[in-house]
Structure 1
Amino acid sequence: MAAYNPAFRRYLRRFVPLTFAYVASIALATAVIPDDAPAGIGTIAIAVLPGLAVVGWLWAMARLLVELDDEYLRMLEVRKFLVATGTTLAVTSVWGILELYTSVPKLPVFFVFPLWCLGLAVGAVLNLLRFGSARSA
């Protein structure tokens, strides 16, 4: 079973602390930086912290692909990444064009990564329907 794969265990050991760092840095930024604060060195430094955790998540996912030696499990992960990327590009491109020509609300860039993560879930469902395996771990 994939849950016993050492690559997934290493991935979780990377992912979980990054998740705690992300939540803590979001809480810190929310508590310390007032709404519409000027962009100073301190506010930028604090506001960047959650983004660094996101970069860490992306690195952890990339390491998972590199470290997975089971080609089937790697293929399932790559399919999820491709579905997530395609979904994100499609939604943001269409929405961006709507923003250009209509009065739809602006989509904050912050929501692009969560949209990509939602695409991972869509990819897992497609893996389940096509291969009978929704997730690799």
Structure 2
Amino acid sequence: MQRTVAARRYQVRTIWLALLYAAALLGAVYAFKHQIVAGPAAWIVAVLPALPIIGVFVAIGRYLVEERDEYLRMLMVRQTLWASGFALSAATLWGFLEAFDLVGHVEPYYVAVLWFGGLGLGNCADRLSGADAAL
């Protein structure tokens, strides 16, 4: 990613959100493992690790809005399209396999993991197609 002002903001946001995610996940795992939380508090603690991940989706959206370089914005849009297609296709395939009892259950939050992997696939596709050669 080029070092535009929007890209720097996106990178800073993403780093902070990753740190928040790690802290929230470690805290939630610890709290549940040691039975520190129960009742409504358990619901809140269980949701905390999801919030930074949602924040990353928001950060990507903000990057797309803030990026003034149309070409860089287009590359990121292509990557998000790859990510969305990859994650939704994999989730749909797995859902049908699971519905027919051919595979075990996978927690739905792994769709986000697939989506982030799809961003990487989109980046590779850009590089292989020469779309980022102008950078």
TM-score by length of 2: 0.91
How far 1:99 sits from its partner (Å)? 0.8
CA distance in structure 1 between the partners assigned to 2:107 and 2:16 by the alignment = 26
Letter matched to residue 31 of structure 2: V
Equivalent residue for 1:9? 8
> Could you tell me which residue of structure 2 aligns to residue 70 of structure 1?
69
Percent identity, aligned pairs only, is 37
Name whichever of 124-133 and 81-90 sits farther off: 124-133
Deviations 1:68-112 (A, max 9, x none): 111110010000000000001111101101111133111211211
Distance in 1 between residues matched to 2:36 and 2:86, nearest whole Å: 33
76-85 vs 36-45, greater mean Cα deviation: 36-45
* Separation in structure 1 between the aligned mates of residue 106 and residue 34 of structure 2, nearest angstrom: 18
What is the letter of the counterpart of residue 98 of structure 2?
E
- 2:104 match: secondary structure: coil
Distance 1:125 1:35, change over 3 A: farther
Deviation at 1:37, TM superposition (A): 9.6
The one-letter code of the counterpart of 1:21 is L
CA distance in 2, matches of 1:95, 1:39: 32
1:43 aligns with 2:38: no
**C-alpha separation in 1, matches of 2:129 and 2:35:** 47
- Runs of 5+ unmatched residues, structure 2: none
Q: How many corresponding residue pairs? A: 134
TM-score w.r.t. the length of structure 1 is 0.89
8 Å CA contact 2:79, 2:122 repeated in 1: yes
Closer, same or farther: CA 35–105 of 1 in aligned 2, 3 Å: farther
- Asked if 1:111 is matched to 2:113, the reply is no
| Counterparts of 1:80 and 1:40, CA distance in 2 | 40
